[in-house]
Chains A and B, each alone.
Chain A
Amino acid sequence: MRVAVVQTQWVDDHEDGLRNAHQAIEDVCSAGDIDLVCFPEFLLGPPWYMPGQDGLKGRTDTPIPGPVVDGFQTLARKLGTHILLGSIVEDLQDGMYRNTSLLIGRQGVITGRAIKAHAFGNEMVVCRQADSLGVMSTEFGQIGIAVCSDFWIPEVIRLLALAGARTIFVPGGTLGQNQPLMVNALRTAAYLNDVNIVYASSVGVVRGKRGDRLVEIHFAGTSLVARPEGVIAQAGSDKPEVLVVDLDEPAPGDGRRWQQLRRPGAYQKLLTPYAGQNRDLAAELRASLTGGQGPHRGPAAAATSATEGTRP
């Protein structure tokens, strides 16, 4: 499978973002036979529920099906390639949203859909989450999709690998301060689970107010492809870029040897919450969205400017 990982850059005008995405597909497919083009999370631009992004409501979110997705389906059909729309904020038309990843097949048909299952930040309040995790059958074999923060729950990659996925796509967004540990965590997940991991991220900065505080969210690219033995391709952190890699299913390695030693009957405690969990984070976020103050940890951030993350 020849995969093109498109590292996008968020731009002020979401229409430009959409045009750039189309152009990236055209460009990479014109340069060679690409089986699958993979985009990051929020490929149309930041969601309205990020700090200071209220003006994007109705712009970077969209109904599915709808004209935005139709455009990508037409492109997939025209170019004969799969397109993985890393994620789009899906407007459910009832006041709620979903962070939805779509796989479009060569014929332009939506062949797979993964909804973020572990909401992050304000998604805990405004988004519905997936009620299951599953793999998708493709001409390349079984694949999995872990939408951004789903990756940071190690149970997710494990479940997808045990269900037969040999390549797992992680559309996400890299926070600068997490960059080195994130690269190593992706590599580790590939190794322990004996899978390929294709990670697509965007580049850019989002600025806005949360409460009375100006915040900046820096996205540091670093899209990469990891095989069980290590990272085989990695993008930079400050500009749009495309990685093209040929990926085969990994031969059985250490991860699968250990998986054969699993004793699932002994793992019931995975079905219990973290012992230290003693706060209702959704309630705190809801309060902060409606102007209340949730409890804060640690020293107060600078009153006028701070760097804020949106995901692990």
Chain B
Amino acid sequence: MTIFVAQHARRANPEATAAAVLDDLDSRVSDDASFVVLPENAFTTGDQVRALPQQLRERCLERLTALARTRGAYVLTGSWPEQRPDGELTQVARLLDPSGSVCAQMERPILPDGTTGTGDDFPVVQTPYGRVGVLLGPDFWLVEPPRIQCLAGAELLLVAGSLDGTQQAAQRAAVWGIATINTVAVAFAGSLSERCGGGSAVAMPEGFAAEAGTREGIIEAPWDAANIQHLREPDLRFQQTLWFGLWARRTELYSDLTAQVS
């Protein structure tokens, strides 16, 4: 079982970017794939906020659906802007199951500065390869959404993300750090653009299993949910201690995290 994560530079237009990304996925993703992850703004720059043209959108979704079916993999499509009936632009990401059906969909508002907003739903999907949480955009960089998914049992977080902060070395390291403090695996996809510094990676609690850095391409890492399940099982000999952060919680102390005004 293998996780594949795509990281590509933006071309002159979404059509060219989509062609580069999808061709690369077709040639690189093997039948061993269990998960394929694309980034936030998978084919758009994120700088020009307009909907992905419908024809291109349908073509991208069609090819990603075919990828899911032919490889028997779950594919997080990454996100792109779509126009809602009321005219509002929304970032949409879909998780396709191996039959090509959408098994989770995330929608997030596009903020006035063109960046993606946060949301209220943090889906966790049971798969034959373990329980996975799906995240889009900045929800990943908040402490709470990944935590909620891990508390619900997610063993792997699939992140359609962007490394778009102002402290990118720290942000890159935080992909692993978030895996550690939640005892979870993270498959983070980011893109390369003026604003986004790549950072695609597969991180386990103990360290990075694969890192793209700022290189274009598709990275891969082996996946076995049993590794996370093992780390989460309490070891009262305390030779292994990463289970503690999930088991020792005292929920009565955390109500301020849900207070409307923090």
Contacts across chains A and B counted by CB atoms under 8 Å: 218
Complex formed: what's the CA distance from A309 to B244 in Å? 12
* Residues of B contacting A180 in the complex (Cβ-Cβ under 8 angstroms): 207
Contact with B along A179-208 (1 / 0, CB 8 A): 011001101111111000000000000000
Q: Which of B44-52, B73-81, B98-106, B254-262 contacts A (4 or more CB under 8 A)?
A: B254-262
Instruction: Please indicate which of the listed interface residues B141, B144, B150, B170 has the most CB atoms of chain A within 10 Å of its own CB.
Output: B170
B144 x A254 contact (CB < 8 A): no
The A-contacting residues of B in range 172-222, CB under 8 angstroms, are 173-174, 176-178, 180-182, 205-207
B148 x A267 contact (CB < 8 A): yes
The B-contacting residues of A in range 230-280, CB under 8 angstroms, are 230, 253-254, 257-259, 261-277, 279
* Residues of B contacting A311 in the complex (Cβ-Cβ under 8 angstroms): 238, 241, 244
The B-contacting residues of A in range 283-312, CB under 8 angstroms, are 284-285, 288, 294-298, 301, 306-312
A193 x B143 contact (CB < 8 A): yes
B134 to chain A, nearest CB (A): 15
Chain A interface residue bracket vs B: 35 or more
Known: A117-B250, A118-B249, A188-B180. A265 touches B260 (CB 8 A): yes
B256 x A270 contact (CB < 8 A): no
* Residues of A contacting B176 in the complex (Cβ-Cβ under 8 angstroms): 181, 184, 188
Contact with A along B111-128 (1 / 0, CB 8 A): 000000111111000000
Known: A154-B245, A262-B142, A281-B236. A181 touches B251 (CB 8 A): no
Complex formed: what's the CA distance from A193 to B165 in Å? 13
Complex formed: what's the CA distance from A210 to B120 in Å? 47
- In the complex, what residue of chain B is closest to A287 when comparing beta carbons? B236
* Residues of B contacting A117 in the complex (Cβ-Cβ under 8 angstroms): 250, 253
Complex formed: what's the CA distance from A204 to B190 in Å? 42
Complex formed: what's the CA distance from A184 to B171 in Å? 11
B170 x A228 contact (CB < 8 A): yes
* Residues of A contacting B254 in the complex (Cβ-Cβ under 8 angstroms): 155, 159, 270-271
Known: A261-B142, A297-B233. A181 touches B151 (CB 8 A): no
* Residues of B contacting A257 in the complex (Cβ-Cβ under 8 angstroms): 165
* Residues of A contacting B117 in the complex (Cβ-Cβ under 8 angstroms): 261
- In the complex, what residue of chain B is closest to A188 when comparing beta carbons? B177
* Residues of B contacting A269 in the complex (Cβ-Cβ under 8 angstroms): 148, 151-152
Known: A261-B117, A309-B241. A296 touches B236 (CB 8 A): yes
B247 x A121 contact (CB < 8 A): no
* Residues of A contacting B242 in the complex (Cβ-Cβ under 8 angstroms): 312
A275 x B152 contact (CB < 8 A): yes
Interface residues of chain B, those whose CB is within 8 Å of chain A, are 117-122, 138, 141-144, 147-148, 150-153, 165-167, 169-171, 173-174, 176-178, 180-182, 205-207, 230, 232-242, 244-251, 253-260, 262
Given contacts A152-B181, A188-B180, A262-B262, 19 further A-B contacts (CB under 8 A): A118-B248, A118-B250, A132-B253, A153-B249, A158-B144, A178-B241, A181-B206, A185-B180, A229-B167, A230-B167, A230-B169, A264-B260, A264-B262, A267-B144, A267-B148, A275-B151, A276-B246, A295-B236, A308-B237
Closest 6 CB pairs of A and B: A188-B177, A254-B165, A266-B120, A312-B241, A275-B153, A274-B246
